[in-house]
Homo-oligomer: A and B are copies of this chain.
């Protein structure tokens, strides 16, 4: 770790110790790492005898309600105070705090703890560690910096963010340090199966029905190098589901043996199609999405394209086929 980053950890630890009556915030539509990191820190602050208020614009998803203190989040409209000590977790900019951000007093000190490349350093103090796979990893390291013992509840929260932000210890951000931290959290008594079961494996019935219908029209190219699934508004409606239930479906075409690019086309609104791309080893799908008005990484990207499902599908598949043949020509 470079000296600046080391100092940022020290400053964060000091912030935890020095202030009190905290407002603890994460981004809207919180995920496992946002909730795991803020609740892990909340348990840590509780041990230190500090008080805090947890606020988020959105209801906490059911699957995260097993996290200790997940039931203590308030909606911003129910909070009348303005806070002068604020910690933000896993949030790249102040806008993503939503209305909850309006609870920050104008003269507040704000500690911004995050691992996103896009973070705009909106805090008065900023601990933005791009080497961390998860914000939970950063909170764990703050606890080490403070030489504070983590409770089992805190450990369970932090483990959850490690699991979700590494795709269950699968993505390439699964580093030696991630595994060492996971080991020490297990030592504190975390039950790995219980966490993974709740946050990764459980599917709602609408999700099951959507997998079923997406597989019914799963297609793949003649050479087997790309595959796609299509989800219409009618399919989502028939399943009793919502747009979030479609997340993850892109893995089905992606995971087919021999496939380099998996594509999911979802009807977002009449005449608008949300396209998700996943590639395995070669094709830069970030570049393809960018070209189509979206963005993302080389292996995972997305965009929204105007047109009917059939039109967009034809256009997107042709573009992917071209990218694959270009990459093959390059390798040949």
Contact = CB atoms under 8 A, between A and B. Distances in A.
Contacts of A208: 215, 218, 252, 256
Copies of this chain in the oligomer: 2
A192 B172 contact: yes
Contacts of A255: 201-203
A293 to B, nearest CB: 28
A116 to B, nearest CB: 20
A315 interface: no
Contacts of A197: 170, 280
B193 A171 contact: yes
Given A180-B179, A204-B257, A255-B201, A193 B216 contact: no
A237 interface: no
A224 B203 CA distance: 13
A212 interface: yes
A41 interface: no
A211 interface: yes
**Would you list the 4 A-B pairs with minimal beta carbon distance, nearest first?**
A179-B183, A212-B215, A174-B192, A170-B196
A169 interface: yes
B211 A215 contact: yes
Interface of A: 168-172, 174-177, 179-180, 182-184, 186-187, 191-193, 196-197, 200-205, 208, 211-212, 215-216, 218, 220, 224, 251-252, 255-257, 280
Contact of A176 (B168, B177, B183, B256): B183
Nearest to A280: B197
12 contacts: A170-B192, A170-B196, A171-B192, A176-B183, A179-B180, A179-B183, A179-B186, A205-B224, A208-B218, A211-B211, A212-B216, A216-B216
A229 B197 CA distance: 20
A201 B280 CA distance: 11
Interface centre among A170, A172, A196, A201 (most CB of B within 10 A): A170
A191 B203 contact: no
A281 to B, nearest CB: 9
B168 A193 contact: no
Contact of A179 (B168, B182, B202): B182
Contacts of A212: 212, 215-216, 218
A193 to B, nearest CB: 5
A76 to B, nearest CB: 29
Contacts of A215: 208, 211-212, 215
A201 B256 contact: no
Contacts of A205: 220, 224, 256-257
A31 B183 CA distance: 25
Contacts of A202: 255-257
Contacts of A179: 179-180, 182-183, 186
